[in-house]
Amino acid sequence: MEKTHSCGELRETNVGEKVVLMGWVAKKRDFGVFTFIDLRDRDGITQIVVSEETDREAHTKAKLLRGEFVVAVIGEVFSRSEGTHNSKLATGDIEVHASEILILNDAKTLPFELEKAGSQNLASEDLRLKYRYLDLRRPQLAHNIRMRARAVKEIRNYMDNLGFTEIETPILLKSTPEGARDFIVPSRIHTSKFFALPQSPQILKQICMISGLDKYYQIARCFRDEDLRADRQPEFTQLDVEISFANQETIYRIIEGMFQSVLRLIDVELPAQFPRMTYAEALRRFGSDKPDLRFEMELVDLSESFKNTDFAPFAAVLENKGEIKAIVVKGKADYSRKVTDDLQEFVKRYGASGLAWIKLGDELNSSLLKVLGEAKISELATTAKAEKGDAVLIVAGKKSVAAAALGALRIEVAKRENLIDRNAYKPLLVTEFPMFEHNDETGNYDAAHHPFTSPMDEDLEMFRTAIEDETQHELLGKVRAKAYDAVINGYECAGGSIRIHQKEIQALNFKALGLSPEVARARFGFFLDALEYGTPPHGGFAAGIERTCMILCGTENIRDVMAFPKTASAQDLMMDSPGDVDVSQLKELGIKIVE
């Protein structure tokens, strides 16, 4: 027997047809002499009616059904009678009158209800993760997984239409100590040696450019052994792209076009050209290199206004080249002490020492009123462009701290006050990322993007000077790279760069990063060799598939767009991984567990 239709497709036009449906019992409503069954499959739900009067045998079977039994229903499509249509179901204008019911399989009572009636409360996430196969029966989650498949298909079409070639690169690579921690895989044949799983196929795609393959892309699984976040898992998928003879503009067009075609899946039309902002501007205006542009509330710099005031902590901040910045929260002069206390706790997580505030209510109020006086507070409020009824939230600290704290506070307040338009999609290209980040622990400069990123032509001179002249080393912090991110709604959805294709610049860069020629050769020798055989200028990007899908699905959690995600402590609760291995396996690999 074969099913004739899915549970989501029957309509008024099918009335009178004999059909066979197969699916799960989502719900049974028993009325004694007849019984309603909501039959669910991947496509939807169809109401089955079984009557004792007309179909005695089927009705007896229907009585036996329990939740999540798997059944086949043979019956006829009927139009629902007046007043019994269900507008909540796509199939709500019809119902199937069953003449025969086959129980294909029974099911234990589920450990949790798939969707709770009367409340939005889903079962706790650890329980749902343990029984992921049941959670995936939820239409919402199933929809997300299918949306992801459509997005990947759309991406493949798009890349293919642009003439890109999908190339698979190895999963078993070699460990390179830069960047994230590697997941390593022991080699049985070469005892005491290890493969590493790719953090990204970065070097391999660049080698494809040296090969002359050009226009490479891959839907690449990447692995990073770092702690998780709501938008980060230890394994994730990137659209990885590289192209030769390209400059930033070429790549921006590819990124823009890619996100445009993907967002069309949810009927959103992104602008042909994304707005652009330099890294420096993003940090100055939004305190973040991935600003959410769905709402305003930009940072205001009050450092100038605080000069020559005698509030010691703020004076010290300015003395040490710090900043005093603020956001204005519209109409929130009525923020209570508790709210500002909560927000103060919030900014402290980002290293801020406190949160000062001004409330422009009926009376002027401020945490700084006593120290600065009413006139100065008014002046500050005016400088911040705050109006009557507004609250001004002020953070003073190191530039990086003030930016991080206020950048995060801006998002936090927007969430609290519901300032974010859930139907808005605001893309942005952030450009001119710094080439290096100062590492406060080692005192060295690390690659901000990766060690193959090209400096901006304008900063090449500074780059050379900083490396060749020991006394000018800190200039490295000012060198900008041909590196960029694509940001949508505050999520870093893609990032990339133009790469270095000349070996002497690459050598300079290794020197800047404190890698001796010997060490660089040991780690990247094969790549440095390759660079010497006619490397075309090239560049590319990688886009996070999960983050893109989070935007498509309107979720803030990466687990909602992965079929089998791991918990925050990097475990799979369904298969209980990671797990022990047999001693014999370890022996074969020459591995001994210590402790």
Q: Please give the structure tokens belonging to residue 506.
A: 């690459």
Task: Give me the helices (H) in 91-245, please.
Answer: 125-130, 132-135, 139-161, 202-210
Candidate list 100, 154, 231, 281; residue touching RNA; CB under 7 A: 231
Site string for RNA, 401-430 (x = CB under 7 A): ---x---x----------------------
Q: Whole-angstrom Cα distance, residue 576 to residue 185?
A: 19
CB hemisphere CA count around 253 (13 angstroms): 6
Q: How many residues bind RNA (CB under 7 A)?
A: 74
User: In sequence order, which residues have a C-beta less than 8 Å from that of residue 87 and are 6 or more positions away?
Assistant: none
> Is residue 246 part of the contact set for RNA (CB under 7 A)?
no
Choice between 51 and 261, CB closer to RNA: 51
Candidate list 7, 10, 22, 47; residue touching RNA; CB under 7 A: 47
Site string for RNA, 121-160 (x = CB under 7 A): xxxxxxx-x-------------------------------
Q: Whole-angstrom Cα distance, residue 105 to residue 553?
A: 32
Choice between 32 and 212, CB closer to RNA: 32
> Is residue 36 part of the contact set for RNA (CB under 7 A)?
yes
CB of 289 to RNA, least distance (A): 10
Considering only residues 428 to 447 of the shown chain, the ones binding RNA according to CB under 7 A are 446-447
Site string for RNA, 187-226 (x = CB under 7 A): ------------xx-x---------------------x-x
CB 131 within 8 A of CB 114: no
CB of 379 to RNA, least distance (A): 33
Neighbouring C-beta atoms of residue 365, cutoff 10 Å: 14
Report the residue count for the chain: 595
User: In sequence order, which residues have a C-beta less than 8 Å from that of residue 590 and are 6 or more positions away?
Assistant: 186, 191, 192
Choice between 5 and 359, CB closer to RNA: 5
User: In sequence order, which residues have a C-beta less than 8 Å from that of residue 88 and are 6 or more positions away?
Assistant: none
CB of 433 to RNA, least distance (A): 10
Candidate list 569, 579, 580, 595; residue touching RNA; CB under 7 A: 569
Residue-by-residue DSSP string for 78-133: EEPPTT---TTSTTTTEEEEEEEEEEEE--PPPSS-SS-TT---PPPHHHHHHTHH
Considering only residues 493 to 552 of the shown chain, the ones binding RNA according to CB under 7 A are none
Q: Counting beta carbons within 10 angstroms of the beta carbon of residue 235, is it exposed (0 to 12), middle (13 to 18) or buried (19 or more)?
A: middle
Choice between 309 and 444, CB closer to RNA: 444
Neighbouring C-beta atoms of residue 419, cutoff 10 Å: 16
User: In sequence order, which residues have a C-beta less than 8 Å from that of residue 502 and are 6 or more positions away?
Assistant: 531, 535
Considering only residues 161 to 180 of the shown chain, the ones binding RNA according to CB under 7 A are 176, 178-180
Site string for RNA, 87-126 (x = CB under 7 A): -xx--x--x-------------x-xxx--xxxx-xxxxxx
Candidate list 107, 152, 219, 228; residue touching RNA; CB under 7 A: 228
Considering only residues 576 to 595 of the shown chain, the ones binding RNA according to CB under 7 A are none
Candidate list 20, 43, 44, 67; residue touching RNA; CB under 7 A: 67
CB of 213 to RNA, least distance (A): 19
The window from 8-16, 34-42, 146-154, 523-531 that contacts RNA (CB under 7 A) reads 34-42
The window from 10-18, 80-88, 250-258, 416-424 that contacts RNA (CB under 7 A) reads 80-88
Give the pairing of strands 427-431 and 276-278. parallel
Choice between 26 and 386, CB closer to RNA: 26
Give the pairing of strands 194-196 and 184-186. antiparallel
Region class of 322: left (phi > 0), else alpha (psi between -120 and 50), else beta: beta
> Rounded to 5 degrees, what are φ and ψ at 282?
-60, -45
Considering only residues 346 to 365 of the shown chain, the ones binding RNA according to CB under 7 A are 349-351
Q: Whole-angstrom Cα distance, residue 244 to residue 258?
A: 18
Candidate list 398, 450, 511, 521; residue touching RNA; CB under 7 A: 450
Cα-based torsion angle of the residue sequence 568, 573, 574, 580 in order, rounded to the nearest 10 degrees? 120
Candidate list 3, 85, 416, 438; residue touching RNA; CB under 7 A: 85
Q: Whole-angstrom Cα distance, residue 570 to residue 576?
A: 10
CB of 24 to RNA, least distance (A): 13
Site string for RNA, 4-33 (x = CB under 7 A): -----------------------x-xxxxx
CA distances (Å), origin 541, targets 311, 453, 556: 47, 11, 23
Choice between 46 and 244, CB closer to RNA: 46
Considering only residues 304 to 323 of the shown chain, the ones binding RNA according to CB under 7 A are none
CB of 128 to RNA, least distance (A): 8
CB of 518 to RNA, least distance (A): 19
Q: Please give the structure tokens belonging to residue 204.
A: 């391999």
Choice between 129 and 151, CB closer to RNA: 129
CB of 108 to RNA, least distance (A): 10
Candidate list 557, 574, 586, 589; residue touching RNA; CB under 7 A: 557
